[in-house]
């Protein structure tokens, strides 16, 4: 963690690209942990137009729903590699409580939304939070911390 001169430590996180290979993701995670980063943000925008992303011909970084599956896979790779050693922040294609829940079950301790708020408005966060409570109750979880990485603990 960095700190301001004479001040409190400022948490720093590293954001990884969905375009990285699994090997590159694990190496970046190792470096982030060795350097004392406060967390890893998975993921940034993609410049790839492979597979289903070929339907998006515009140039530049692509975000939101088209990124959902790759961003989820990146999160799974990082969680398998890091476990609970470092907080993972799930980003990319999260627009519903179900999307957020899937990320948390895959290992995210936090989720970040942006595109969904642009399209659905400022109450998106509240809607997602209320939906998360329902999903957790359905599955017998009492806190989000119980949900983090639950899919990797399945028998």
Lowest mean pLDDT among 8-12, 17-21, 23-27: 8-12
pTM of the entire predicted model: 0.85
**Domains, the chain, ordered by start:** 15-46+61-150 (3.20.20.70)
Order the strands of the 13-16 sheet from edge to edge: 13-16, 39-42, 88-91, 110-112
pLDDT mean over 20-32 = 97
> Which tens digit of pLDDT belongs to each residue from 49-58?
566 655 656 6
Quote the CA–CA distance of 85 and 122 in Å, as a whole number: 32
> Which tens digit of pLDDT belongs to each residue from 104-146?
999 999 999 988 899 899 899 999 999 999 999 999 999 999 9
* Total Cβ atoms within 10 A of residue 67: 25
Lowest mean pLDDT among 18-32, 44-58, 81-95: 44-58
């Amino acid at each position: 963690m960095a700190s301001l001169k004479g001040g409190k430590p400022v948490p720093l996180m590293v954001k990884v690209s969905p375009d990285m290979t699994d090997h590159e993701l694990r190496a970046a995670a190792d470096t982030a942990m060795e350097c004392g980063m406060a967390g890893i943000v998975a993921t940034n925008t993609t410049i790839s137009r492979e597979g289903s992303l070929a339907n998006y011909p515009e140039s530049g970084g692509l975000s939101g729903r088209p990124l959902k599956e790759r961003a989820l896979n990146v999160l799974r790779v990082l969680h398998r590699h890091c476990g609970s050693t470092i907080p993972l922040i799930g980003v990319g294609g999260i627009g519903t409580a179900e999307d957020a829940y899937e990320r948390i079950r895959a290992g995210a301790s936090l989720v970040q939304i942006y595109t969904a708020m642009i399209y659905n408005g400022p109450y998106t966060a509240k809607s997602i939070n209320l939906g998360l409570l329902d999903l957790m109750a359905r599955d017998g979880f009492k806190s989000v911390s119980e949900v983090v990485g639950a899919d990797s603990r399945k028998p």
